[in-house]
Structure 1
């Protein structure tokens, strides 16, 4: 494992922190799909004992983000384009429902979220770009007034962050993504439920198509 992880501040319980550090590294591609993980190296780099690392890895395995490696040990779960496509189908349905409900309530999505996303799209910080995208969609879920939408979507976003991290480094559609987000926000604010849902469906389909296309290129490059 070649990743350089930052040491954690001194305290007694590190499981959540170790989990978050590894989740972010897997999500932004710093820990690449298929990369082997060792408790000893992670513990050394984070300056913690092996116990919280072991527990964090168990949580990541439960989430499907790491899996048993051939022989022994663990590795970052390889990306599966077919599974990602199915995740986008579910996400599209949830997001469309959220947009429709939010528009019926006439909710206003904070324009600062879109401004922050546009700033992130001009930078090179992939984690910031992913976080901005997730923040917009979670604002949409909150605007719907139905907390079950966010709860249902949370599991899927853990995996969607991974594919975003794998492909957004070289994406040429960052500005278009935030143009689509702004159009959705305007339809929600205007109370046009059907337009908002339609725009979300188009946005999700564009994201699915673009990300899967780029993911295929990334996987081909890694296997070459």
Structure 2
């Protein structure tokens, strides 16, 4: 396996473990232990940790520790603003190009999303939500947009998991249905605005995150 692929895989494995809580906020990270866990050398792990620190998911004090960053509502709000703007742009660019199959893919993803929420399966809900919003991102064919989302979405997803584990997450199903209807009607501005509102509706998650991060 090439070094670049090892580095990318290590980055994605550690990133996903932080986002899904396998590596908990505040947990100390040891590159040798991570390398053994992932079955790779320490070099791609170190490179992955550097990249994750730049994203705000890892915090390092040279010579002292490397740890999973605590939940940070302020950082997540900054990521929310950028992520909402990118999804608004994705929908605006995608709506004129969406096929009937694309619309059906969005509808199917929302059905899976609703079922996952009903079953309290947060991992499946996150996957289905990614599939739903990913349709417009892919159809927009905008690589710059995808790069920005790759940078900021993981920070937001950490807190969004709290929302999807609560009853307030059910409101996202209706928001998705609204986006689908506007896309199907070829209402570019309406769909783009609805997409932005969907991502800006995470205030409950920030409140939950602040509570989770507060000392007992």
Common fold by TM > 0.5:
yes
Structure 1 residue 25 corresponds to structure 2 residue 20: no
Which of residues 18, 32, 37 in structure 2 aligns to 1:45?
37
1:138–1:150 Cα contact (<8 Å) kept: no
Structure 1 residue 212 corresponds to structure 2 residue 209: no
Deviation at 1:73, TM superposition (A): 2.3
The 3 A distance-change label for structure 1 pair 47 and 100 is closer
1:24–1:127 Cα contact (<8 Å) kept: no
Structure 1 residue 66 corresponds to structure 2 residue 66: no
Which of residues 91, 102, 122 in structure 2 aligns to 1:99?
91
Give ranges in structure 1 of 5+ residues lacking alignment: 1-10
The 3 A distance-change label for structure 1 pair 57 and 201 is closer
Q: How many residues are treated as equivalent by the alignment?
A: 210
Deviation at 1:29, TM superposition (A): 1.6
The aligned residue for residue 170 of structure 1 is 165
Give 4+ residue runs of structure 1 displaced > 6 Å after superposition. Answer: none
Deviation at 1:136, TM superposition (A): 1.7
Q: Which has the higher helix share?
A: 2
1:120–1:129 Cα contact (<8 Å) kept: yes
Question: 1: CA distance between counterparts of 2:149 and 2:12?
Answer: 18
Question: 1: CA distance between counterparts of 2:48 and 2:83?
Answer: 26
Q: How does 1:76-155 map to 2 (within 5 A)?
A: 76-105=68-97, 107=99, 108-109=102-103, 110=105, 111-155=107-151
